[in-house]
Amino acid sequence: METTVPPPAEWRLPVANIRLRIAPASRRNHLLRIDLPAGCPPECRAAAAFLSQGDQVPCSPVFLRDQLVAVECLVPWQGRGPFDTEKKSQLPLEVYLLPGAEVPLPVPAAERKPVCLRRALRKLTTRPFTSEEVLRMIGSLRDLLFASRDMQSFSGALPMAAWSSPPGRTTAILHWNADLLVNADTELRFGADQDTVAWFFFLDGTPAADWKNGRRLASGARMSPATRLATGFHRLDLFAFQGQDEPIPQLLYSEPNAEPKPLPPERLYDADYLEAVLMERKDGGPGIGLRFRQLARLRTVEPAQDFLVFTVDALGVDPASAAAMKYTLRIGDRIRDGIPNDVVEAVAGNGLPALSLTRTAAGAATEFNLPPRRIWLPPALIRAELSVRHLPTVLPADRPLCADIEAALPGENAAQLVPLVLLRQTQKDAAGNVLDRQTVPLPKDTGRLPLNLTLNEKVARVELDLAVQDTPLLPPVCVRLIRPGDDLGGLQALQRSLRTDGDHAVLLSNPLAPLLPAPPSTRTGQPPANTAETRTVAILDDFWAISTGPDADLLPEQCLSKPGTNAVTRFSVFDGTDGAVGELRKFAVLPRALAVHPTVLVCAVGACELRAAMKPEEMALHLLFLAQAAHAAGAVPVLVTLPPLPGIDRHDIRLAALLTKELAFRLGIPVVDTYSRTVQENGDAPGFEARFLQAGGGCSLATPDNAGREWLCRQVEAALAAATENTSPP
């Protein structure tokens, strides 16, 4: 580790016991405010400042409630770039804290200009109309060259006559900024004296007023609602987009029950940040401090959220003695142990948090505490991306939720943020209470992450999102877990996934156990169970009568319906489910079938699944959920084994039939074993399959012809009689 101990400098004022060595973030000639670290001696009430080559510069104390909290210095142009990362010892400004109240060289009032005005010209097709548009525009123009001038206040008069109006068809982008010192908690209103030029005011980085909103006064000024301000410094930023010959807005404020007026210059202070601060004591020993590099402001689009990303290093670390010392860095409420060296951090918001560096050696601790400071950087927009792939359709209750997650933070601007991003997996119950939360670091190259989540028994939904320090980068991707007894009304099949109310849906089956006699349904809006003699029968069909043709027009619902006995409604899985893969269509149709409040639900499905190369074991899992959902709705489920069908391997048909019969046996529900009956009637000969093909003309139908349909009707009719003799047959 290379040294971060600046070379010793001459102690210029023996009366001072503490000095701060500073690296300003800006090299321009300006008024610089230096917030003092906590713990400075209370007897220090004055300060003196020198450049590293020995020249004294004006320096004045800043008091808050009679306590010295900062000093401000007139820093001349440095003739160099920002703090040199290769020469970490460059600390061109020295500030000595002095006992007593005598200030050796105060800042002259005429030279005190705490407000910084930045101006750039740009040809714009339109000006922003909302604060969010301002941030996006400024972010897109962050590389635009701005000219800077310092002013004594937020005045409507510009410091240069040439700046009074932009030339031609250009727009002048103006940005004023300063910090307001509030000596006691109060309420203030802010605004500007114009409503004919586009202006936007931000208080502590948050939109507070603009030219279109707020209370309009008779003078044409626009004022914001009253805002509560705590004691301390508050960041003020005013943006204006001035066209040719348009006026310049002036920032106004008003106290309760008072008229708006300009902000007094004596309450305004420089808002620039410090790049490095090293605190040293006259009695010797290494100094202690921090420096900041690579500051960047990133802003997500939805939700609109700022993140300040920066790199922090410790100053005053001597490699020769570092091994005998313990370092602890506290950033806000987070703690890092070890020597801070190239530590990348990110905080939500647009300001540096409170920072504390503690060095412990031989039982003695030295602390260095910097107060928080809001800063302004043009935001770089980032769009985090998160998607879920390969979710299971039906998940057994005792298995983890597995899927593939694709995450990305595209763009160079987000590269600093990637190491700090966590994938959050949050399980919530039906009331929205958090049951469990797990976090997984995002890979450096982002890409695909596996999801393997053990589910809580009460989980109703799983929310997946990307977050930095518990602040989300995007709205959560929600996976709803739907159990057989839940409301299925919004269930949809879209392409290769199930959806409900815009969220992903996974069907969560109950443990495999016998279904007790069907209870009165508890679904919302469900009437009491049908006690009349007529049975209401619903059929889910994916092969029986899904299309018509010559000699294939018999409808099972007409064949099975008998006055006073059966009222049959058939639901083809292909009706109203365009755009979904075949194996998911039955679940989109299931809510419609249960909406007729059937006494019996016949599940004549499985052909789509096997034609899609689904394993028979997975098909049986689909049937399990259908049966449990029908039972929860107060209906008796009836399963149907698939007869030999064209386009499906005979081995798969046989295995599917065995699994379907085993499932029906273990659930204690009826099963129409068409597969075994066809084997009994035809042996291994493919004679039955011919019933499912339209002879002549080479036309092949996916459903049986009338002979096949009628044969299936006879098998189902016998099962219906048994299904209602006992709601839970053996």
pLDDT digits (tens, 9 = 90+) for 431-452: 999 999 999 988 876 678 899 9
On the question of pLDDT at 500 being above 80, the answer is: yes
Spatial distance between the Cα atoms of 602 and 285, rounded to a whole number of angstroms: 86
Burial 112-130 (b: 16+ CB within 10 A, else e): bbbbbbbbbbeeeeebbee
Average pLDDT over residues 284-292: 85
Select from 423, 512, 502, 498 the least CA-distant residue to 464: 423
| Whole-number Cα distances in Å, 461 to 120, 399, 431, 479, 504 | 50, 15, 10, 6, 9
Helices of type H across 123-266: 131-140
Q: What is the DSSP letter of 414?
A: G
Spatial distance between the Cα atoms of 723 and 720, rounded to a whole number of angstroms: 5
Select from 539, 532, 498, 506 the least CA-distant residue to 630: 539
Q: What is the DSSP letter of 720?
A: H
Spatial distance between the Cα atoms of 440 and 175, rounded to a whole number of angstroms: 40
Beta carbons within 8 Å of 683's beta carbon, 6+ residues apart: none
pLDDT at 655: 95
Q: 530 near 599, Cβ under 8 Å?
A: yes
Q: 288 near 368, Cβ under 8 Å?
A: yes
- List the structure tokens of 230: 């705590």
Burial 403-429 (b: 16+ CB within 10 A, else e): bebebbbeeebbebbbebbbbbbbbbe
Q: 386 near 421, Cβ under 8 Å?
A: no
Q: Is 683 exposed, middle or buried (CB count within 10 Å of its CB: 0-12, 13-18, 19+)?
A: exposed
Average pLDDT over residues 495-517: 91
Q: 654 near 685, Cβ under 8 Å?
A: no
How confident is the prediction for the chain on average, in pLDDT?
85
Per-residue pLDDT tens over the stretch 392-413: 999 998 899 999 999 988 877 7
On the question of pLDDT at 725 being above 80, the answer is: no
Taking the CA atoms of 312, 317, 322 and 324 in sequence, report the sign of the dihedral they define.
negative
| Whole-number Cα distances in Å, 584 to 289, 366, 393, 395, 565 | 62, 66, 8, 14, 32
Average pLDDT over residues 312-329: 81
Concatenate the DSSP letters of all residues of 245-267 into one string.
TPPPP-EEEE-TT---EEPPGGG
Spatial distance between the Cα atoms of 489 and 278, rounded to a whole number of angstroms: 65
Q: For 112, list phi and psi in degrees, rounded to 5.
A: -85, 110
Kindly indicate the confidence band of residue 429, based on its pLDDT and cuts at 50, 70 and 90.
very high
On the question of pLDDT at 319 being above 80, the answer is: no
Amino acid at 501: D
Select from 265, 292, 330 the least CA-distant residue to 24: 292
Please name each of the domains of the chain with its CATH number: 18-110+272-374 (no CATH), 115-269 (2.60.120.1560), 383-504 (2.60.40.1930), 513-522+530-725 (3.40.50.1110)
Q: What is the DSSP letter of 627?
A: H
Residue scoring higher pLDDT (192 or 574) = 192
Helices of type H across 276-367: 319-322
On the question of pLDDT at 324 being above 70, the answer is: yes
Beta carbons within 8 Å of 613's beta carbon, 6+ residues apart: none
Q: What is the DSSP letter of 501?
A: T
Select from 110, 55, 108 the least CA-distant residue to 78: 55
Give, for 236, the enclosing helix (H) or strand (E): strand 232-242
- List the structure tokens of 381: 């927009």
On the question of pLDDT at 37 being above 80, the answer is: yes
Burial 707-725 (b: 16+ CB within 10 A, else e): ebbebbbebbbebbeebbe
Q: 552 near 693, Cβ under 8 Å?
A: no
Grouping H, G, I as helix, E, B as strand and the rest as coil, residue 283 is coil
Please tell me the total number of residues recorded for the chain in this structure. 730
Kindly indicate the confidence band of residue 690, based on its pLDDT and cuts at 50, 70 and 90.
low
Spatial distance between the Cα atoms of 704 and 642, rounded to a whole number of angstroms: 12
Kindly indicate the confidence band of residue 682, based on its pLDDT and cuts at 50, 70 and 90.
low
pLDDT at 494: 87
Amino acid at 494: L
Spatial distance between the Cα atoms of 281 and 364, rounded to a whole number of angstroms: 15
Q: What is the DSSP letter of 9?
A: -
Q: 608 near 542, Cβ under 8 Å?
A: yes
* Beta pairing partners, 19: 96, 280
Question: Among residues of the chain, what percentage have pLDDT more than 70?
Answer: 90
pLDDT at 382: 86
Kindly indicate the confidence band of residue 518, based on its pLDDT and cuts at 50, 70 and 90.
low
Residue scoring higher pLDDT (179 or 168) = 179
Kindly indicate the confidence band of residue 113, based on its pLDDT and cuts at 50, 70 and 90.
very high
Beta carbons within 8 Å of 627's beta carbon, 6+ residues apart: 515, 603, 637, 639, 663, 667, 669
* Beta pairing partners, 462: 427, 479
Quote the pTM value: 0.79
On the question of pLDDT at 89 being above 70, the answer is: no
Kindly indicate the confidence band of residue 84, based on its pLDDT and cuts at 50, 70 and 90.
very low
Grouping H, G, I as helix, E, B as strand and the rest as coil, residue 386 is strand
Q: Interior CA angle at 258 toward 253 and 261, to 5°?
A: 35
pLDDT at 260: 92
pLDDT at 506: 96
Q: What is the DSSP letter of 418?
A: G
Q: Can you list the positions of beta strands (E) in 76-134?
A: 93-99, 115-122
What is the torsion angle, in degrees rounded to the nearest 10, for the CA atoms of residue 124, residue 130, residue 135 and residue 137? -10
Per-residue pLDDT tens over the stretch 354-388: 999 998 887 788 889 999 999 988 888 888 899 99
Grouping H, G, I as helix, E, B as strand and the rest as coil, residue 299 is strand
On the question of pLDDT at 263 being above 90, the answer is: yes
For residue 303, whether the previous peptide bond is cis, meaning omega lies within 30 degrees of 0, is yes
Grouping H, G, I as helix, E, B as strand and the rest as coil, residue 401 is strand
pLDDT at 195: 84
Amino acid at 357: L
Average pLDDT over residues 16-32: 89
On the question of pLDDT at 2 being above 80, the answer is: no
Kindly indicate the confidence band of residue 6, based on its pLDDT and cuts at 50, 70 and 90.
low
Average pLDDT over residues 463-471: 91
Average pLDDT over residues 241-257: 90
On the question of pLDDT at 286 being above 70, the answer is: yes
Q: Give the β-pairing of 535-541 and 566-572.
A: parallel
Of 168-177, 330-339, 549-558, the poorest mean pLDDT is in 549-558
